[in-house]
Every structure is written in C-alpha cells, then in structure tokens.
Structure 1
Amino acid sequence: MKKISAVLLCTLLFITGCVQKSTEEEVLQNADTEQETSIVPSYQLSDENYRMILPYKTSQARGVIVNQLANRVDIDEMEQGLQRLSKEVFSPSDFYFQEGQYLTSGRIYDWIDGLNPEVETGSDEDTFRDNPRYLSHILEQNYLKHNDDGTVQIAGMSIGIALKSVYRFQTEIGGPYYYENISEEDMLAQGDRIAEAVVEEIRQEEGLADIPIMVALYREAEQASPVPGNFVARANVPGGSNSISDWEDVDEENILFPSAEGREKYYDDHEIVTSFGNEIAQFFPNYVGLIGEGFYVNGELQKLTIEVPIEFYGKAEVMGFTQYAYGLVQDMFSNYYDLEINITSSNQAESLIYRNAGDETPTVHIFH
C-alpha cells in the first residue's frame, strides 16, 4: 500500500511536469475570416503535442467516420495515426492543429459514392466480388501557422484515406452477408487512383491551391478485429502540385496478443504477454484472460497495451491485484517501449499501470 501511494504521488508530479507553459496566451486573427478572433492557450501537454486554437472548431464532416468505419478501434487509430504521421511533415513546434474545415459531410459522401465501383441492385454474387467498394472514408486534418502580422491561416493539410481489407456485401436486402478479401496490392492501386482524384479537387478550393498536402492510405482491419488496422503508405504533395509522384511505405502494424500472428511475427513479445497472464492466473481465481495489443514501427515495438478483465468483490482485492501486477511489470517487461495495463471489471476501469519508454518505474492509478 505504501508503495502504491508513493507511486500515486509520482503520478501527480509526472502530470505536472508534462504540462508546459510555452508563452503567454496569444490572441490571433484568422487571416481567412477577418471577423474571427482566436486564442491559443498558454499551456500544452508536451512539445510532442500540437497546440490548438480556441474556440475549438469541430470537423465540417463530423460524424461521417463513425458511419463509415465499422470498427471503433479503426476510428481511433486512423485519427491518431494521421496526426502522428503529420508530425514528420508539419512540426508541432511550428504548426497549430485544427480539425478539417474544408471537406464537408456532403463532399465526403459524394466521393465515397463516386470513387467506388457502382453495382446495380440485384446483381449476382460474382459481380459484387469483381467490383468491391474499396473506399470507406476520407479524413481531413488542418495545420495552421502564425504569421508575423498576428494572423493565423492554414499552411498545410493531411488527408487520410481509409480502404477496406475485407469487402462485406449483400446481394439482396435482408439476405446473407458475403465477404471478399482485398489484397494489399489491389488496395494500394485503388488508393493511388482515389488520392489523385481527391487532391485534384482539393486544389480547386479557395486558399488550398498552394499549400503542401500529406496523403496517407489506411488499411482497415476486419470488422470484428480487436486490434485496428494501420497506415501502409503516404506521399507528400508540394504546394501548387495536383499529382502524386512517389508513395513511401509506412511500416506500421498493430498485433494482437496472444494470437497465432503475434507468436509467428514477434515470438518474444508474445511469450512475455502469455507468461504475464499465466502468472496472474496462478494467484487470482477470478482471472479469465487478457487482451494485448502491440504497436510496431519498422518491426520495433513502440507501445504495448494490455487489458486485464477480472471480477472483483471489493476495493481491497483491486488494490492487492494491482500491487501484484505492478511487481510483475517491474520483473517481466523491458522499458524501451511505452507500456499500459488497464485493469477492468464489468467494463469499468479499476486501475491503470503505465510506464513511458525509458522510465525505470511504472506509474499507478487506482480509480475510486
């Protein structure tokens, strides 16, 4: 108990240290809308996070991604992953982040309808299989810069294009669902075609003809997958250009543990997660299993997230379990990657253990 209390104190110190005051609160005029005044908060979570302009503006296509991506984990990964890739093009030290303000819901839906193959209602199964709907969604993010005259305006844009790995379809309303696997090769070819059409139309929008655009292709996971898909390719389109000349591979993947794929690709990590579960099972009879997700870049583990669902019958049991898990983390897991262990019961968060890459000791929080 004393150990956990000490760690909770470290949590407060850690959070306090992460929030950084960069400058005094700035009042900015939007260069594109003369009547609109914005402010930039004087605090940011860290140098790795974008500062955002207030009042906060939600996307012009708000809600479309929820309707178009069937898997909740894909929604989160696509939004966060596109921002992560954008940092390599639009540095958080130079740009402010804003949700997409140019592509409306109507335009997104028009693209989804117009850039996918059209199959007539009542067509046979083979026709549907030969003409899969590749495109699910197009996500826009804006990156703004502060001008010398105190104004702020868009200076870059990122576009994420979500493409299916499995096409699910019905040949008749109310009929059975059929599934057609889409190879990554076919998906990339279609993604290139779709990206060219999207960039060409974006360039026709007032104020967007000369800004750089980063385009990234996202390969969705299967609908029932417990882990998300990943970005597979990206390209930088210079200001004034309508064409995409070179695609760069993005070597990212999200791996489920334990799983046959995890065991085959990342055996050592798979065995550590499995051993962690086995250790817990020896001492806690209410343990039913765990779900681990490893995020890899260029084959190197960047973050390991583990969810441990277990039935508790009192807070003392939560404390005891968390303390035991904390000790296992210290003994079993390396510290070269971010680690997050969520302990839950009946879909309720009970406690959290996390450790940032490079830290010697984990941080613990027990929810009350």
Structure 2
Amino acid sequence: MLLFLTSCTSINNQPEGTVTNDNTQTVVPVQPTPNQLSDDYYRALIVDGKYQSSQNRGVSLDLNSSVNMKAFETDLLKVAKKVFPTDQYFFQEGQIITKEMALSWINRKSEDNPQGLNPESNELIDSTDRSPQYLSQIVEQDFMIETEKGFELGGIAVGLAMNQIDYYNVKDSNSNLNFYEQSLDLETILKEAKSYGNEIVSRLRDETGVESLPIVVGIFLQSPKDSLASGNYVLEGKSTEGRTVEEWIQRNEKRILFPTFDGEETDVNTQFNNFKNEIQLFFPNLSGVTGVGLYQEDKIISLHVDIMTQFYGQTEIIAFTQQITDAANRYLPKNIEIELKVESINGIEAFLTRSENTQTFNYHVFE
C-alpha cells in the first residue's frame, strides 16, 4: 500500500504531485511498515521512505537517567493503547509540539517566556525557600487512522515527566558550579502536573486539526538519578473534546529494585536472593546481579535481571547461561514475564526471556 502525505494531519492517496486544496503542496509518498511484530506493538508510518522523528526529539528525551528516558517513552505507549488500539491505529512520533514549543513550555514562566509552565524563579538558592521546577520534560506521540482517503491524525498522547527531586546548580563568585538537590512534596507535584496537563490540552486545541481529537495525558514521576529502577506513570487522563482533561485516574504501578535492603522481607526478594546466591556459587567472578520488578495493583507482573560478569570464553558463557536457566526456573517467580541479560565489558554475552504463563526460557548466546 502506497499513500501520500499532503498536510501535517492527513495522508491522501492522490497521484503524486497533485493539488488537494487551494494551496499548492508537494505530495509525499507514505506507507505503513509491512509487518507488525505482535499485537503489543503499533505499525509505524514511513514518510517518503524515512521514519519520522519527533519534532522535539532531543528535548523530550533529556531526563535525569537513561532508565527514566526509556520508561518515559515506552510506558506512554502502554497508557495510549487503552484508547488507541494497536489493530486500529498506526504510530508516528509527535509532529505537533515543536522543539521551540517544548522548550518554552518546560522552562520557567517569565516576562520573556510567558508560555513557561514551571513557576517563576524567586532567585533564591536554599532548597527550603527556592521556587522549584516541577516539570522536567514533555513527549508527544501521534496515532493515525486509515480512511478512504488515506491516513489522518486520529489522536494524540502526551507524557509529562515530573521531578521528585529538582537537581540544580548555581555558580559562585569564582564561577565554580555548586550542585544542589531539592526534594518535592508528592501532593504538590500531582497538583501541578494536573494543572500542566490541562493547560497543554488547551494549547493543543488551538492547533489545526486537533480541535476535536481525543488527547491522552500521562503523568510520569521520575525516579532519582542514581536509581537503577526507573520511575513510572502515576496518573492518566483523557480529553475527548474540550480544553481540559475530563477525569484523572490514579495508576497503581511501581518499579522495585532487587535485592532490596530496606523494609520488610518479601517473597520476591527472598526468591531473587536465592537465585543470586545460586549463580554466584557457580560463577563467583560476577560484578553484580540486580533486578527490576514491575508491579501493578501491588502484584509483580515482570522482572528484568542484569548480570555483570567478566568474559573468559565462549564455553564458560554457554555453561553459565545453562546454569542461569536452571536457577531461574527453580527460584524466580512463576507465571510472569522474565528477561535476563548477561553482560561484560564487551557487551551483551547472553540473553534469556520467558513469557508470561510459560515455563520455558528462550535464549541466545552471542558469539
């Protein structure tokens, strides 16, 4: 299927080079990716043979850690799928919010930047008195639908990354940078996030082609920058029409780093420690074994494990992978998705996965 792009919000199957409205436009060929890996993923639209990157890429993915960056983008897709099913919509990175718009909205409000969403600076340095920055980043995802005339924009998802800790720096009289941290109150964070979400919906309604489209808004709470576990989306809302989110829904979702050392012992932490001890006895030259469990409604649904080791030889990695498979089957939680990576300074040495409600691991040892 080969169709054609004629505006920022629609794609028509007109012959290449035709005029489709009062303004002369260059018609660009567009087609969806021919394959869909699974129902969990959207097919993407390819414009003129190229994948269309976000209009504000480089701004939207500048968070305080790589694990937050990944979760901020990929988890928004999970939020969006509730409104935009993968068998009815095609994916395109955000094309409405430009780099200039995103930077303006993320920065503090001021006389020079009246569009800023973060509060005006009070010029104070001490974290007890300073006016913090709550909003860290904005990401947009577009969802296209196929019509008799081609493809057109069918809905938008917007993610707002909020700070739990505001990291900032100030130059002293010798031009040396001094670094500070300001912990933020969760209730205030969520109050500000809802306000920002409503304002962004209102601003998007002023954009051509977005006046009556459904807009999904997700509120992402960043984890501290030294955490190996990412943050997560804590609120979601939808604006079917109008200039505000109709209802905010709290998401009971969190990520927990294993092994845990604070709080009371849990079954999953005990299982993880047993797994860790088993593989360390077999292969003592491990640099570290950590896991991140994803919980929904206080129940673990997936576990991703990273195993760092020194690389000695292919036969050792093969033997180690076999031992990991056996230990994982014996100790790690049943009936959840599990992913294990064995890494060294040379990169990934082995990769193992087990799908939900199955008992068999698939694996690959890299040569």
Spell out, residue by residue over 1:21-40, the C-alpha distance to the aligned partner (whole angstroms, 9 max, x if none): xxxxx222336365122112
AA of the residue aligned to 1:312: F
Aligned equivalent of 1:322: 321
Return the offset for 1:302.
1.6
- 1:37 maps to what in 2? 29
Equivalent residues of 1:227, 1:293 under 8 A apart? yes
> Which of residues 92, 95, 99 in structure 2 aligns to 1:101?
95
Is the Cα contact below 8 Å between 1:28 and 1:40 reproduced in 2? no
Change (3 A) 1:41 1:119: closer
**Partners of 2:127 and 2:181 within 8 A in 1:** no
- TM-score normalised by the chain length of structure 1: 0.87
Q: 1:118 aligns with which of 117, 120, 135?
A: 120
Question: Which structure's relative contact order is higher, taking Cα pairs within 8 Å and 6+ residues apart?
Answer: 1
Query: How far apart are the structure 1 equivalents of 2:170 and 2:45?
Result: 47
Find the residue that maps to 1:43 and give its secondary structure: coil
- Kindly indicate whether the alpha-carbon contact (under 8 Å) linking 1:335 and 1:356 is maintained by their aligned counterparts in 2: no
Report sequence identity in percent.
28
- Give how far 1:321 is off: 0.7
Equivalent residues of 2:275, 2:332 under 8 A apart: no
Partner of 1:64: 59
What is the match of residue 139 of structure 2?
A: 139
SS in 2 for 1:93: coil
Once the two structures are TM-superposed, the CA of residue 348 in structure 1 deviates from its matched residue by 1.2
Write the deviation string for residues 101-158 of structure 1: whole angstroms up to 9, x where unpaired: 011111000001211122255x34157x441100111110000000023x10001000
Whether the 8 Å CA contact 2:89–2:143 is kept in 1: the answer is yes
For residue 195 of structure 1, the aligned residue among 194, 197, 221 is 197
- Superposed CA deviations along residues 301-344 of structure 1, whole A, max 9, x for unmatched, are 12101111111211111111111111112222343111011011
Secondary structure (helix, strand or coil) at the match of 2:230 reads coil
Residue type at the aligned position of 1:325: I
Matches within 5 A, 1:266-345: 267-345=266-344
Provide the C-alpha distance between the structure 1 equivalents of 2:125 and 2:319, rounded to a whole number of angstroms: 59
TM-score, normalising length from structure 2? 0.87
Residue 259 of structure 1 aligns with which residue?
A: 260
Structure 1's 91 and 152: CA in aligned 2 closer, same or farther, altered over 3 A?
Answer: same
Distance (Å, rounded) in 2 between the aligned partners of 1:298 and 1:139: 26
Q: CA deviation at 1:96?
A: 0.4
Q: Distance in 2 between matches of 1:95 and 1:245?
A: 22
User: 1: CA distance between counterparts of 2:81 and 2:346?
Assistant: 33
Q: Counterpart amino acid of 1:159?
A: V
- Secondary structure in 2 matching 1:288: strand
Is 1:46 aligned with 2:38? Answer: yes
Return the letter of the residue paired with 2:28.
E
After superposition, where does 1:237-256 map in structure 2 within 5 Å?
237-239=239-241, 241-256=242-257
1:87 aligned residue = 81
1:211 Cα shift?
Answer: 0.2
> Which digits, 9 at most, give the CA deviation of each residue in 1:285-304, with x for residues without a partner?
21233010001111121210
Residue 206 (str. 1) matches residue 208 (str. 2)? yes
Backbone CA RMSD of aligned residues: 1.7
Q: Structure 2: how far apart are the matches of 1:305 and 1:90? A: 27
Write the distance in 1 (CA, Å) between the matches of 2:346 and 2:271: 25
Name the counterpart of 2:16. none
Q: CA deviation at 1:347?
A: 5.5
Matched position secondary structure for 1:177: strand
User: Does the 8 Å contact 1:277/1:289 carry over to 2?
Assistant: no
- Matched residue of 2:287: which SS? coil
Look up the match of 1:6.
none
Answer whether contact 2:122 2:130 (CA < 8 A) is retained: no
Aligned residues: 336
Q: More strand per residue: 1 or 2?
A: 2
**Any unmatched runs of 5+ in structure 2?**
11-19, 21-26, 108-115
Distance 1:311 1:291, change over 3 A: same
Instruction: Name the counterpart of 2:112.
Output: none
Kindly tell me: are residues 105 and 341 of structure 1, through their superposed partners in 2, closer, same or farther at Cα, counting changes over 3 Å? same
Counterpart check, 1:78 vs 2:90 = no
